[in-house]
Amino acid sequence: MNSKGQLIITELILYIIIIVICISMILYIFNTINNNQVMILDNRMTNQILEDTMDTLIMSEGTPSNWDNLSDKDIKTIGLRKNSLSYQISYNKLSKLKNNTDLIDDFFPKGLSYSLIVYPKNNPKNQEYIAGEYSLENRNNIYSMEVPIIIDYGYDIYTIKSHKYMNYCPYNHNNSSSIWQCKPFSINRTSMYNGIFYMVSNNETNYILSNTYNQQVNNTVSNKKNINQEVESLLNSESDTIYIHINTNTTSYLVYDENNLEKYLDSIYDPEIYILKLSISN
């Protein structure tokens, strides 16, 4: 073969090499674009899952609304809101979920890992695990959403504040020149066995407990005080009316706690803000 023929063959080989390189570059760019598009779609879908799940948890009370008192088979949907009239999160529902973490597994597509935790806003290191995995730190593509919440601890709270001309006081405090707040409460012995009555006040306050038999107990409360024994000493039957008299204009409370949550009583005057954090990873 002469030199001219060899030159033509060499040029042809170069052309083929160039074409192959161009095709490879086009395929690489095409695949890269597609992968980026898929990642964008994954991001959007993941964020939507986060938003939908968090909305369901904090904006609904679940179905039935008392699902925290039911067995798993009777629960249709999970929601942490106390009830339709309150935006607070129910401590009882949060505890039920913590003890039955699989209740929200169906919220997430297969292949997604999740972690649900709660912590005080002012103390982020004090995290409490609720559901899912304890940590996603070693996972890739972690997406998170945080929402501030206030927790309702399930107390029955009664304000000790009366209008002088509307509430009867057996000691005639409503006609006294002193500042008295007097209010009657119906209390039965069964409630004494199932929970604890507290006097709660943000100032040191003198109080009187009395019954309809002119028996009374005098004492002082500073912040909070278990008054079960005092109340029981005034019950002369299975159910009775107990009067609480407070010589102050400070708003105080009678609180009934059947969940043994004395450490959270301060939340009645100063509700603590918590952060509910949901993280997912694909």
Query: Which positions ≥6 away from 227 have C-beta within 8 Å?
Result: 197, 198, 199, 209, 219
- Return the beta strands (E) in the chain as ranges: 81-83, 86-90, 113-120, 128-132, 142-152, 156-160, 181-188, 196-210, 216-226, 239-246, 252-257, 273-281
Q: What does 185-236 look like in DSSP terms, one character per residue?
A: EEEEHHHHHH-EEEEEEEEEEEEEEE-TTS-EEEEEEEEEEE-HHHHHHH--
Tokens, residue 164: 């002088």
CA distance 63 to 78: 7
- Digitized pLDDT (tens) for each residue of the chain, 282 residues in all: 555 555 555 555 555 555 555 545 544 434 443 444 433 336 778 788 899 999 999 999 999 999 999 998 899 999 999 998 889 999 999 999 999 988 998 888 887 889 999 999 999 999 999 999 888 877 778 889 999 999 999 999 999 877 555 667 888 887 766 788 888 999 999 998 999 999 999 888 899 999 989 899 999 998 899 999 999 999 999 999 999 999 888 889 999 999 999 999 999 988 999 999 999 887
